[in-house]
Amino acid sequence: MTADPVVSREPPPQVQDSFGAERSADDPEGSICKLAIIITCFNYSQFIRHAVESVLSQKCRQCQILVIDDGSTDGSWEVIRELGVRAFRLANGGQRKACLFGLEQTQAPFVLFLDADDELLSGALEVIITNLDDGVAKLQFPLKRIDGDGNVISGPIPELQAFRGRELAGQVLRTGVYATPPTSGNVFRRDVCELLKDADYDRAVDGIILFAAPFIGDVVSLPQPLGLYRVHDRNDSGFGDELNTQALHRDLQRFVARTEHLRRILPGYGYQSGLVSAEHAYFYRERRFYLAVAEDERISFASLSGLVGRLWRDKNPLGMKVSMTLFFTAISLLPRDRARKALAYRLGAGTRSTRGLIRALT
């Protein structure tokens, strides 16, 4: 993958195009590339260079990189222009709109939405390309956590088993979710990405396409980490050292809207019924429980028992069932200030342990 000369032309309103070619730069035939890596950036001037160079350094002949600056005000656009990649600058509209704009600029059959604060590991693109074919709706791989300075702070998240198939569809029907990597750990077939056009309830892309993919084609799961997920004080998870009730409300609203979106489209893929209602799903009950703690509501026995009952009815590992039951019970009984500290630790982006939880409570 090499950089073409910057092309000077009159940009359309609110858009600056710093690069001209739309095809794989290393392909003399000018054929459409197999994988587009779309990087959207909003005020990540300190990280965007690392993200772009982690792609360019792999010189993947079947890959194309596009960078979409989502109205940054911190100098990100100036950094992006220095990198000599195909790039556009938009008025700020959120990740989903920026990714959809990027999708319109490429005809690649597969897309990886790489967050501007994340990176790909050396050799990742070769592994990804080898595992893509027309039957794949989504490919996923774990990410190692790094800190703001690029130091590795944990092993791969999540831990994934190697498989290929549609078995995750059953889990989505039962629970509405499954364990999936963050945005940068997923590759989607182009038609799956098209679902984002109707997801106007969401500003992010780590929603409907993750959970619709198992119904549309095969999911390929790779156990080896192929990227780096940066943990810092501006992660969009919405959770840090202090509880963010707004983020919890957002999670609940997104989950309900996404579940209804999924329910509408499943008949088109041959699934007529069976999707759990959002309010009965374990994810919804868990987040609603957390919100009650965050807002100092009284935790009733009915609320606790309903959550634990849902936890044990779902097909979760026994160790998770036991540990989460103990955690839910503990924060129900703890004084409110301690309960909030425990919950903030649980929802934080860093690595968690029993020792860490104890420290968080002191």
Q: What are phi and psi of 17, to 5 degrees?
A: -105, 115
* Positive/negative CA dihedral, 21, 23, 26, 31: negative
pLDDT tens digit sequence for 273-298: 799 999 999 999 999 999 999 999 98
Q: Alpha helix (H) ranges present in 105-240? A: 124-130, 168-175, 190-193, 208-216
Helices (H), 233-281: 245-265
Q: Residue 194 is encoded by which pair of tokens?
A: 């098209």
The residue among 135, 309, 108, 100 whose CA lies nearest residue 209 is 100
Of residues 27 and 41, which shows the higher confidence score?
41
Helix, coil or strand: residue 360: helix
Residue 277 to residue 280: CA distance in whole angstroms: 6
pLDDT of 300 > 50? The answer is yes
pLDDT at 4: 37
Name the more confident of 54 and 350.
54
Structure confidence at residue 349 (pLDDT): 62
Look at 68-82, 113-127, 150-164 and tell me which has the smallest mean pLDDT: 150-164
Contact between 342 and 360 (Cβ < 8 Å): yes
Residues 43-48: what's their mean pLDDT? 96
Per residue in 157-199, pLDDT tens?
999 999 999 999 999 999 999 999 999 999 999 999 999 999 9
Minimum mean pLDDT range among 77-86, 197-206, 237-246: 237-246
| Residue 344: per-residue pLDDT | 87
Position 235 scores a pLDDT of: 59
Determine whether 358 is exposed, middle or buried from the number of CB atoms within 10 Å of its CB (0-12, 13-18, 19+). exposed
Residue 113 pLDDT exceeds 50: yes
In this structure, how many other beta carbons lie within 10 angstroms of the beta carbon of residue 144?
A: 17
Give CA–CA dist 324/122, Å, rounded.
Answer: 36
Choice between 37 and 361, residue whose per-residue pLDDT is larger: 37
**Does residue 353 or residue 347 have the better pLDDT?**
347
Q: CB-based contacts of 354: which residues, under 8 Å, 6+ apart?
A: none
- Cβ atoms of 188 and 137 within 8 Å: the answer is yes
Decide which of 315 and 58 is more confident: 58
Give me the chain's average pLDDT, please: 88
Is pLDDT of 207 > 90? Answer: yes
pTM attached to this predicted model: 0.88
User: Strands 86-90 and 63-70, how do they pair?
Assistant: parallel
Largest Cα–Cα separation, the chain: 68
Of the pLDDT bands very low, low, confident and very high (cuts 50, 70, 90), residue 138 is very high
Closest by alpha carbon to 130, among 51, 224, 251? 224
The first and second tokens of residue 35, run together, are: 């994988």
Considering only 88-97, 157-166, 260-269, 311-320, which range has the smallest mean pLDDT? 311-320
Yes or no: say if 133 and 109 are a contact pair by the CB < 8 Å rule: no
SS3 of the chain: helix, strand, coil, percent, to 5: 40, 15, 40
Q: What is the pLDDT of residue 308?
A: 96
Alpha-carbon gap, residue 11 to 290, rounded angstroms: 47
Average pLDDT over residues 297-326: 93
pLDDT at residue 351, rounded to an integer: 62
How many CB atoms lie under 10 A from the CB of residue 36?
26
60-69, 238-247, 270-279: range with lowest mean pLDDT = 238-247
pLDDT for the residue numbered 350: 60
Determine the pLDDT at residue 6. 34
| pLDDT number for residue 288 | 95
Domains by residue range for the chain, with CATH: 16-230 (3.90.550.10), 245-361 (no CATH)
Higher pLDDT, 31 or 86: 86
What is the C-alpha separation between 185 and 270, in angstroms, rounded? 28
Integer angstrom CA distances of residue 78 from 6, 48, 88: 14, 11, 12
How distant is the alpha carbon of residue 98 from its chain centre? 15
pLDDT (average), residues 295-304: 92
pLDDT of residue 15: 54
Q: Are 69 and 77 contacting, i.e. CB atoms less than 8 angstroms apart?
A: yes
Tell me: pLDDT of 230 over 70.
yes
Look at residue 54 in the predicted model and tell me its pLDDT.
97
